[in-house]
């Protein structure tokens, strides 16, 4: 999951740097969809080629949720730092993944697992502080009134929901077909949004000015999601979320190095707590 975390942080950096983030996402979604079509065709007629109805519904729902998440992240990055938006979205998702995993999927989390989750939440909080001082303690809560923070929280909710949907959807399904279905649903949802926006000239302009970043982001997305689905099929969903939050560390570093974002030392302190939480989660599960 560490590799997935790094890949995910890198594509978020590419999204943050895009000229028109909505157009960038549309192209970025098209790349893995086209790349994955041959694999889906080859697997037709193979073992488990007929997807259960439950998996079809989950694949479509996951694609729609991921489109909503990408729209929220595109909005958040328009008004906030990579090293602030990413931790908040992933941190809020972690809390919801744990809560919904226990409430809806009846997963059991050990005392050590709860400690790991609490440590990661603390790390996200510290990473969102402007400084280590008494006067700054409430700043993360005040920041929730900002547009970027609200969008990041919305993304966190959709992240938690599609993690849980995928956990149910991949059971007994052909993973190749499942991934293709959710990519198609994601792309179609975004296409409908772009159609309503009626700014196709921006889509063309984004490709002309940023094509190599788009191709890189699309390939990264495909590899990252394959790794996540493998983990979800073999691990407790409540621990998969925390492990992927290691991307918070990478997002802080990438934001400081490539975007010259501020408050990097404090955010790295929070990242250190998150790394510790990941280690505890691995020991717990």
Question: Can you give the pLDDT at residue 64?
Answer: 96
Mean pLDDT for back-to-back runs of 10 residues, the chain (285 residues):
81 95 94 80 58 86 96 95 89 79 79 83 82 79 84 93 87 79 92 90 94 92 73 58 71 94 88 78 67
pLDDT confidence of residue 127: 79
Give the per-residue pLDDT at 242: 53
Distance (Å, whole) CA 105 – CA 208: 45
Give the model's pLDDT for residue 237.
55
Structural domains of the chain, count: 1
What local confidence, expressed as pLDDT, does residue 7 receive?
A: 87
Looking at residue 48, what is its pLDDT? Answer: 52
Q: Is 260 left (phi over 0), alpha (psi -120 to 50) or beta?
A: left
Task: Write out the residue range of the structural domain in which residue 69 sits.
Answer: 2-284
Radius of gyration, CA atoms only, the chain: 19
């Amino acid at each position: 999951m560490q590799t997935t975390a790094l890949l995910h942080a890198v594509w978020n950096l590419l999204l943050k740097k895009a000229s028109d983030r909505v157009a960038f996402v549309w192209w970025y979604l098209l790349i893995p969809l086209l790349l994955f079509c041959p694999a889906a065709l080859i697997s037709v007629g193979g073992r488990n080629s007929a997807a259960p109805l439950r998996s079809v519904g989950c694949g479509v729902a996951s694609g729609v949720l991921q489109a909503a998440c990408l729209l929220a992240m595109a909005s958040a990055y328009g008004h906030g730092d990579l090293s602030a938006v990413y931790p908040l979205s992933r941190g809020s998702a972690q809390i919801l993944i744990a809560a919904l995993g226990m409430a809806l999927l009846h997963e059991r989390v050990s005392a050590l697992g709860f400690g790991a989750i609490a440590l990661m939440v603390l790390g996200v909080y510290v990473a969102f502080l402007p400084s280590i001082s008494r006067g700054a303690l409430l700043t993360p809560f005040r920041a929730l009134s900002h547009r970027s923070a609200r969008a990041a929280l919305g993304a966190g909710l959709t992240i938690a929901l599609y993690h849980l949907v995928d956990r149910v959807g991949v059971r007994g399904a052909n993973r190749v077909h499942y991934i293709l279905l959710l990519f198609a649903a994601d792309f179609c949802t975004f296409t409908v949004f772009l159609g309503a926006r009626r700014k196709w000239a921006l889509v063309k302009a984004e490709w002309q000015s940023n094509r190599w970043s788009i191709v890189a982001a699309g390939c990264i997305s495909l590899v990252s999601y394959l790794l996540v689905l493998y983990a979800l099929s073999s691990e407790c969903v409540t621990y998969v979320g925390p492990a992927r939050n290691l991307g918070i560390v990478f997002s802080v570093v990438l934001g400081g190095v490539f975007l010259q974002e501020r408050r990097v030392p404090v955010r790295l302190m929070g990242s250190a707590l998150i790394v510790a939480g990941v280690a505890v989660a691995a020991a717990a599960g």
